[in-house]
Amino acid sequence: MPPPTRRRPALTPRQTEIIALITRGYRAREIAAALGVSERAVRAHVADLKRVFGAKNRSGLIAAALASAGFSVRGSHRRYADAPFLIAVSSGPDHVFTYVNRMWERVFGLQRRTVVGRPVRTVFPHPSRTTYAARQRAYRAGRLATGKAWHYRWTDADGVAREADFRFIYQPLRDTRGRIEGLLLIASGAVD
């Protein structure tokens, strides 16, 4: 019997506010300003949330929070189109892209219309062995896996050239019966 669908852990009202802002890409300073609390208080809540969700870093926290909130392979992901971190969703064992956000498009220099509906190995015919192995592990084992950090250069929406090291997190996505149906990829700067 497949494992049960992961449910969102019980959170305090403040933790709920903070996790909502984190999954929208807010940093500690921005969360503190939005909620009228200190950055120190926000950082303490984030540390607690990492423990609650079993995440080692901000990328893992975002991935676990989205997965536990019902983020799915075929759902609407429009609210994350402009997130300041990379999001990609794939389905099945061939990892067919079902969604990529604008940040993903900018960093990889590929357009959504040329990616969605195609397997990862078609889009990236020579993927890194370690990164593809992490993707496979996450899908087969049904547990979060991390890919190594990669350095990328891109031009932001405002026309400014940027560069960063991105840490890739692969979060399994389950259907209503608890079966793995795909993966959520979250990648953010390695310094998060």
Complete DSSP assignment for 64-132: HHHHHTT--SSS--GGGTT-SSEEEEEETTTTEEEEE-HHHHHHHT--HHHHTTSBHHHHSSS--HHHH
User: Structural domain of residue 41, as residue ranges?
Assistant: 13-68
> How much is the pLDDT for 192?
39
Sheet architecture: strand order including 180-189: 96-100, 86-91, 180-189, 161-174, 145-155
Residue 82 shares a structural domain with residue 174: yes
- Residue 54 maps to a domain: yes
Residue 103 shares a structural domain with residue 165: yes
Question: pLDDT tens digits, residue range 73-100?
Answer: 887 788 888 888 899 999 999 999 999 9
> How much is the pLDDT for 8?
66
Q: In CATH, what number is assigned to the domain containing residue 139?
A: 3.30.450.20
For the full predicted model, state whether its pTM sits above 0.85. Answer: no
Residue 103 shares a structural domain with residue 174: yes
Token pair 């896996």 is found at: 145
Assign 3-state DSSP to the chain and report helix, strand, coil percentages, each to 5.
40, 25, 35
Q: How many domains does the chain have?
A: 2
Residue 163 shares a structural domain with residue 115: yes
> How much is the pLDDT for 146?
85
The answer on pLDDT for 1 being more than 50 is no
Residue 84 shares a structural domain with residue 149: yes
Residue 82 shares a structural domain with residue 176: yes
What is the mean predicted confidence (pLDDT) over 123-142? Answer: 89
